Structure 1
Amino acid sequence: MGGIVGVYGYYNQQPAQEVLIRKMIQAIKHRGPAEAGEYYDQELALGYRRLGIPAKEEEQQPQFNEDHSKVLVLDGEIYNYRQLYQYLRGKGHYFQTDSDAEVVLHLYEEKGVDFLGDLEGMFSLALWDKRARRLILARDQFGIKPLYYWADGYRLLFASEIKALFQDQSVARELNPRSVADYLAYLYVPAPRSIFLGIYKLPPGYYLLCSPEGYVVRRYWDIEPSPQAEEEAEKKYQQTLLNLLLESVRLSLSNDNGMPIDLLLSGGLDSAILLALGQRLGAALRGYTLGFKEAELDERSPARLLAYYFNIPYQEGIGDLKLMMRRLDQMIQFYDEPLGEAAAILTYEIASQAAAQRQIQTAISGDGGREIFTPCYRYGLPLEGSCLKQHGSAAVVDFCPQAGGVRRGRAAGWFSRLFQSRPDLAEDSLARICFNSMVCFPIEEIERILTEDFFHELGGYDPFILFHDLYRKPNSTEPCSRLQYVEMKTYLPDNVLARVDRAAMANSLRVRLPLLNSKLVEFWAQVPIRVRLKGTEERYLLRKTMEGILPSAIVWRKEEKIESPLRNLLLAESSLMEEEWFQDVWRSPLSEILNFDELNSLWQRQQRGKYDQSRQIWAVLFLCRWYHQHMSRTSGCAKEDAEPALVAC
């Protein structure tokens, strides 16, 4: 656990520079303050930072096989490495340590690149095959651990964080215009792009294979949302789900040798499931909750109920919104890309207080559960009936502004007849409806908020294109299944998991996410929609499964969205004033990117109180603060370069 970096001169075979690799290692020191490791082999260099939890000599990296022909650096943990260890021992492999990194090396010896499909955990890795002169980069199925790369046709650089790549003077600090548009639409930058031109994220479930012939990015795992047509008894689904949840929690707790594990207890269903199942498995769990004096944000009451019900050690911290705003710039220095949801500052505060006040080193969290089990949560779309698709024509009327002046019954009938003759239009319309229901700035507003010159650099690009392509990719025609796929490919890795990783690493905290288990998610994707949800309850099957295991008040508790109240409260606590805010933008190079007049209009609409523009204002505020920390005054933007082709295996 920590961070990895590396350089491979795959084309020109120039010797790797030790000075560069050490600068890259130093740039991510916060991810692993315990110690550093490095390895050199002519045109290749690998670097590693270790977090130091737990401090075991055999976990030092880089890790080698017996004859040093294969080398590995690994950020993260392989939860099922003990099972893989036994399998490999049975195949005749000899081990020198008890580390998951050595297991990965031997698994590669046994299976080649197919070894990735056997790994369960959170990881990004770089594996060097010395004899084949081949480098493999890989990222876990969900994107819990980050991995960025840059290539110029001669060399490949990679790192856990972008700041390490900038240690090479050849890597330009230039904004990608399309990524800026993506940020304004999604409030994050979806993979494979990053906010910077020429720097890419390795997508979750993919690996990069690099040799003297070049490099290619390929997929090794994907979810296929295709709910079964034949339904089984609901009780059978519940039992299978419970067994998979238990196994997921067991794997995430199995390598701690009985040491106490802290649970980041939110009071919601996801963290409650971890508590109940962890205790059933005999884990020594301790609860920690961050509370607030503001009732809209405070979850101490349900967290206390859970701690009392399961009789676990429990501790609380208190968050101060004013102090959180004062520490905003401190937080942003760890975020190499802008994250425009206010929840990012909350995640950072939880990690900061947990590590500093309670000296927590290892924690488990329910993050990711909402995106897996409640994919329609963010979209505010109707769930009545067995699936959204059954209400497609009515949904278009309800959610399309163009239908505002049309009588609802006649409009629904017209759309219904149209969709029967053109089902492709029905799918595209639902995709557009879903996108519009969650987007921050649609392309029409992006055109107004960007300067004319900067908008021209988009070359006709619309952030909806990415959403549309992902929405249409699954074989299933169920909108809820399609949204699950979109959430897992975008919002989950590039927003939720990005903020969890950066916040945890900034505070030397290891956070495991047991609900992100490939077998669990694969099962859930096959469960019929009519079994998963009932009426407007999208978590019906999950809640029914936990009946009798959790208190009823927790199982059926309605979980409120905190993003909007948190954002408004943070803005209210901010010392930000209109003149200070816009003068700051006007004086900066951002005036070449953002339209000052439109920002002023945005602010005025918020001040009048007729429309809630807090989401848009917070997004621009975060972008401005991020820009001042991560971009030089001479940086600008450049034209879009050729993106790497992603290959499905």
Structure 2
Amino acid sequence: MCGIVGLISADGPERLASRVAAMNAAIVHRGPDDAGVHLAPGVGLAMRRLSIIDLSTGHQPMTTADGVALVFNGEIYNYRSLRAELETRGYAFRTQSDTEVILNLYHAEGMAAFARLHGMFAIAIHDQRRDELILVRDQIGIKPLYIARHEGELLFASEIKAILATLPCRPAIDPQGLWDYLSLRFMAPDRTIWAGIGKLGPGQILRRKLCSGDQSIETFWQADLTPGPFDIGRDYAREFADQFVAAVDSHIVAADVPVGAFLSGGLDSGAIVAAASELGHRAFHTFSISGDGAGGDDELPLARAVARRFGTTHHEIRMARSDYFDTLDDVVRAFDEPYGDATGAALYLLSQRASDHVKVALSGEGSDELLLGYTRAADLATLAKVERRYGPMPRPLLKLAARFVSPDRASIFRAMAEGGPGAYRRGMAAHIGWTISDAEKAAFWRGPDMVPSFDLVQGWYGLPDTAHPLAQSQQADFGTWLVEDLLMKADKMAMAASLETRVPFLHLPLVEWCQNTPMEARIGPPGQFRTKAVLRDYVATRLPDAVLNAPKRGFPLPIFPWFAERLRDAGGYVPISREFHNWISLEGLKPIVARACRNERRALEQLWGIAMFDRWCAVYAD
């Protein structure tokens, strides 16, 4: 685990070396154990290393005798089996690292190598044989990789701050990126807050010829959560258990340092700790956090019960309001961009505590997105209602009706006119992160006219209209909310504390099994609605009853009540940055501020995302 940086430039050797060094210095927190640089005419690569595997001989960059140099951020969980295969093909190894496995596998198979990697990774390869720079991001998007083009140069890095460290001046704010952020509370895929800086997508490869500048991006893996047909002869619960336990085991054994886990009071992290214990991993640390005033939402007692059952060395943080708000500027610096998920600072504090004891922490991200953990019984009732009411209607009539109803309902009617009742979910564009509508933003927006964010989100519902509508929502969440909010938060907050997070639910073989399972494996058979049905079967005899029966809470911290108190103490919202006023009208914001001061949850969520943009402006843009 580390961070990588690099650039293609016409600079001379000394200037190139200086710029690569500045980029690498900007991400020292990602890898305080080691550093390495590869320089060649027109190209420079560098890395920072947090030593996890092969502590003594895993130095990067790694090179081949015929001119291939590689730097790599992440972990490969099937590297041992790949290594054994390569050895039978005549490849000799100098180290015990997964990095050398990637290097030799690429040498043997070229671009086909990357689809065979099970792990989380961002890879940069300078292949002098082909006069080419190659950038690769893992299939799920667990590790970020930012890219920028500036005056004919190509720059890349694990964090934006490394790119900013070598540009002559800060780029302009991207108005469309900001407009979409205000609705989503995270930056949309492909965009960042900075004009001219983007992201390589999950499962993508960028290839750039050094001499000609020709550049292409190809996708080597893409999620498809279309449910398969139910097979009465298959034991889905048993299959899931086998896949899940293998995923947890692979994430623990691929480390030469202590491993622990973040532990909430929920099913996902509890399942990870249960599997780790049953696999025989005994010296296991677990880490939990809550806040003063959490009341009935306090999950520490539930986490404590799981820790006791499996005999972990358990650590708890009881966070005060001042602890939370005092760390927000550090959180903003770590994210590089506006980020409106209020749990980021809590994860930052939890990661700091964990890094005192372990170098690797397992986390439960991905379970809800794979197994419909966000679904409610009401969603199924709505699906049935839509099917009954609109299923028999001719599609031309639905299209005509769209002209005479409200805009929100019209989009649903148009979607059904194109794809039938199953397409209504796409027409809703009911994305999980949606907090401010385009109409609400227009009341306080001071920037230029933008493409509606609703149009962007509607395009994320990419499964065929014949697919189950709940699967359509899964598909949208898996490629957007999961990657750009949850996984980005896990990477940025943990790496700011020099801690590696691993996500067993997103182990590629487990993902590929889950994405083809029928709806019955995700939410149970008709009449027996259970979110994450196969996971519930796994934990049913393993976790305490209090955990099994607890309602879903997300990350239950009293952040928004704290925020409302601060607003009332200040007499409303008072911006802290100058740049903020170029984009947001305080007059137009007054209705949201007033509702937030009254402790209305939706208004607090809306204002929180705006306030985090303000705080980001103060750190990066003023």
Runs of 4+ in 1 over 6 A off after TM superposition: 417-421
1:70-219 map, 5 Å: 70-152=68-150, 154-170=152-168, 172-211=170-209, 212-219=212-219
Q: How many residues align?
A: 598
Distance in 2 (CA, whole Å) between partners of 1:209 and 1:215 is 6
1:581-596 map, 5 Å: 581-582=573-574, 584=576, 588-596=578-586
Distance in 2 (CA, whole Å) between partners of 1:104 and 1:504 is 24
Distance in 2 (CA, whole Å) between partners of 1:420 and 1:470 is 14
Counterpart residue number, 2:290: 291
Q: Does structure 1 residue 384 correspond to structure 2 residue 380?
A: yes
The AA in structure 1 aligned to 2:591 is S
Cα contact 2:225–2:475 (8 A) shared by 1? yes
Cα contact 1:338–1:623 (8 A) shared by 2? yes
Where do 5+ consecutive residues of structure 2 fail to align? 391-405
Distance in 1 (CA, whole Å) between partners of 2:585 and 2:416 is 43
- Residues 344-353 or 186-195, more deviating: 344-353
Please list the CA deviations of residues 13-37 of structure 1 after superposition, one character each: whole Å capped at 9, or x if unmatched: 8756111111101111111122321
Q: CA deviation at 1:237?
A: 0.6
Counterpart residue number, 1:540: 533
1:431-510 map, 5 Å: 431-435=426-430, 438-451=433-446, 454-456=447-449, 458=450, 461-474=451-464, 477-510=467-500
Counterpart residue number, 1:569: 561
Q: CA deviation at 1:574?
A: 3.5
Q: CA deviation at 1:609?
A: 5.5
SS of the residue 1:273 aligns to:
helix
Cα contact 1:6–1:21 (8 A) shared by 2? yes
SS of the residue 2:254 aligns to:
coil
Q: CA deviation at 1:170?
A: 4.7
Q: CA deviation at 1:615?
A: 0.6
- Residues 507-516 or 606-615, more deviating: 606-615
1:192-341 map, 5 Å: 192-211=190-209, 212-233=212-233, 236-256=235-255, 260-284=258-282, 285-293=284-292, 294-341=294-341
Distance in 2 (CA, whole Å) between partners of 1:323 and 1:365 is 23
SS of the residue 1:333 aligns to:
helix
Cα contact 1:339–1:622 (8 A) shared by 2? yes
Distance in 1 (CA, whole Å) between partners of 2:36 and 2:432 is 47
Q: CA deviation at 1:497?
A: 0.9
Residues 421 and 333 (structure 1 numbering): CA distance in 2 closer, same or farther, change over 3 Å? closer
Distance in 2 (CA, whole Å) between partners of 1:83 and 1:107 is 12
Distance in 1 (CA, whole Å) between partners of 2:374 and 2:426 is 12
Cα contact 1:191–1:201 (8 A) shared by 2? yes
| CA RMSD, Structure 1 to Structure 2 (Å) | 2.8
Q: Does structure 1 residue 629 correspond to structure 2 residue 619?
A: yes
Please list the CA deviations of residues 321-377 of structure 1 after superposition, one character each: whole Å capped at 9, or x if unmatched: 22211221122111111110111122112112222xx43322111122222223544
Distance in 1 (CA, whole Å) between partners of 2:433 and 2:264 is 24
Counterpart residue number, 2:25: 26
Cα contact 1:342–1:566 (8 A) shared by 2? no
The AA in structure 1 aligned to 2:488 is A
Counterpart residue number, 2:61: 62
Residues 533 and 612 (structure 1 numbering): CA distance in 2 closer, same or farther, change over 3 Å? closer
Q: CA deviation at 1:475?
A: 7.0
Q: CA deviation at 1:7?
A: 0.7
Q: CA deviation at 1:312?
A: 2.6
Distance in 2 (CA, whole Å) between partners of 1:36 and 1:133 is 25
Residues 47 and 611 (structure 1 numbering): CA distance in 2 closer, same or farther, change over 3 Å? closer
SS of the residue 2:202 aligns to:
coil
Cα contact 2:567–2:597 (8 A) shared by 1? no
Counterpart residue number, 1:619: 609
Cα contact 1:165–1:171 (8 A) shared by 2? no
Counterpart residue number, 2:400: none
Amino-acid identity (%): 27
Residues 510 and 368 (structure 1 numbering): CA distance in 2 closer, same or farther, change over 3 Å? same
Counterpart residue number, 1:637: none
The AA in structure 2 aligned to 1:276 is A
- Residues 103-112 or 418-427, more deviating: 418-427
Distance in 1 (CA, whole Å) between partners of 2:600 and 2:100 is 60
For normalisation by structure 2, the TM-score amounts to 0.89
Distance in 2 (CA, whole Å) between partners of 1:509 and 1:532 is 32
Please list the CA deviations of residues 412-437 of structure 1 after superposition, one character each: whole Å capped at 9, or x if unmatched: xx99x979982536455422434277
Where do 5+ consecutive residues of structure 1 fail to align? 397-410, 633-649
Greater relative CO, 1 or 2 (CA 8 Å, sep 6+): 1
Please list the CA deviations of residues 493-518 of structure 1 after superposition, one character each: whole Å capped at 9, or x if unmatched: 11111111111111111111111112
Q: CA deviation at 1:165?
A: 0.7
